[in-house]
A and B are shown apart, each in its own frame.
Chain A
Amino acid sequence: MTTEKVVVTAPNGLHARPVGEIVRIAKSFPDSAVTITSGEKTVKATSMLSILSLGLKKGTEVEIRAEGGDEAGAVNAIVNLIQSVTE
Chain B
Amino acid sequence: MIIKSVASTSGYGSGKAFRLCRGDAAGTHVMSIDEAFKAERERLSVLSVENDIFAAHLEILDDPMLSDAIEEHLAGGENPLEAVASACDDIVSMFSSIDDEYLRARVDDVKDVCRNIESRLAGNFSGSLDIPEGSVVVADEIFPSDTSRMDLSKVSAFVTRKGSVTSHVCIIATSRGIPVALGVDIDMIADGDNLIVNGNAGEVAVNPTEDELSKLAERRIVNESESEIIQEPVEYQGHIVNVYGNAGCVEDVAKAMAAGADGIGRFRTEVVFMRSEEFPTEEEQFEIYRDAALLCGDKPLTIRTMDIGGDKKMPYLSTEPEDNPFLGVRGVRLCLANPGLFKIQLRAILRAGSYGNVRILVPMVTTSAEIDRVRVLIEECKGELSAEGKEFDNSIPVGAMVETPASVFAGRAIAEKVEFFSIGTNDLTQYIMAADRGNSGVSILYNPKDIAVKNAVEVIVANAHEAGIKAGICGEAASDPEFAEFLLEAGIDSLSLSDPRMIPVTKRLIRR
Residues of chain A having any CB pair with chain B under 8 Å: 11-12, 15-16, 43-44, 46-50, 52-53, 55, 87
Contacts and interface: CB of A to CB of B under 8 A. Distances in A.
B98 A48 contact: no
B64 A53 contact: no
Contact of B100 (A11, A46, A47, A52): A52
A47 B64 CA distance: 5
Given A12-B320, A12-B321, A49 B65 contact: yes
A49 B106 contact: yes
Given A12-B320, A15-B321, A52 B103 contact: yes
Nearest to A10: B321
Contact of B64 (A12, A50, A52): A50
A82 B80 CA distance: 37
Nearest to B105: A16
Q: Which 5 A-B pairs have the closest CB atoms?
A: A12-B321, A16-B102, A47-B64, A49-B65, A50-B65
A69 B322 CA distance: 39
B90 to A, nearest CB: 11
Contact of B102 (A15, A43, A50): A15
Given A44-B64, A47-B65, A47-B68, 19 more contacts: A11-B320, A15-B102, A15-B321, A44-B68, A47-B64, A48-B59, A49-B60, A49-B63, A49-B65, A49-B66, A50-B64, A50-B65, A52-B98, A52-B103, A53-B95, A53-B98, A53-B103, A55-B99, A87-B321
B91 interface: yes
B95 A50 contact: no
Contacts of B99: 55
A8 to B, nearest CB: 14
A37 B95 CA distance: 19
22 contacts: A12-B321, A15-B100, A15-B102, A15-B321, A43-B65, A44-B65, A47-B63, A47-B64, A47-B65, A49-B60, A49-B63, A49-B91, A49-B95, A49-B103, A50-B63, A50-B65, A52-B100, A52-B103, A53-B95, A53-B98, A55-B98, A87-B321
Nearest to A48: B63
Interface string B100-114: 101100100000000
Nearest to B102: A16
A35 B117 CA distance: 27
B369 interface: no
B452 interface: no
B53 interface: no
Nearest to B94: A53
A39 B64 CA distance: 20
The interface centre, meaning the residue of A46, A47, A55, A87 with most chain B CB atoms within 10 A of its CB, is: A47
A6 to B, nearest CB: 20
A55 B321 CA distance: 14
A12 to B, nearest CB: 4
A26 B489 CA distance: 63
A47 B94 CA distance: 15
A11 B59 CA distance: 27
Contacts of B59: 48
A37 to B, nearest CB: 16
Interface string B170-205: 000000000000000000000000000000000000
A23 B103 CA distance: 16
A15 B98 CA distance: 13
A55 B100 contact: yes
Contacts of A87: 321
Contacts of B100: 15, 52, 55
A70 B407 CA distance: 60
Contacts of B60: 49
Contacts of B321: 12, 15, 87
A60 to B, nearest CB: 14
Nearest to A51: B65
A50 B64 CA distance: 8
Contacts of B64: 44, 46-47, 50
Nearest to A43: B65
B94 A52 contact: no
A87 B94 CA distance: 26
A44 B98 CA distance: 18
The interface centre, meaning the residue of B59, B60, B94, B100 with most chain A CB atoms within 10 A of its CB, is: B100
Contacts of A50: 63-65
A52 B91 CA distance: 12
Nearest to A45: B64
A16 B106 CA distance: 11
B398 to A, nearest CB: 35
A11 B322 CA distance: 11
Contacts of A11: 320
A74 to B, nearest CB: 16
Contacts of B91: 49
A52 B102 contact: yes
A43 B100 CA distance: 17
A29 to B, nearest CB: 15
A43 to B, nearest CB: 8
Interface string B46-70: 0000000000000110011110100
A65 to B, nearest CB: 15
B104 to A, nearest CB: 11
A16 B65 CA distance: 15
A52 B94 CA distance: 11
Contacts of A49: 60, 63, 65-66, 91, 95, 103, 106
A50 B69 CA distance: 11
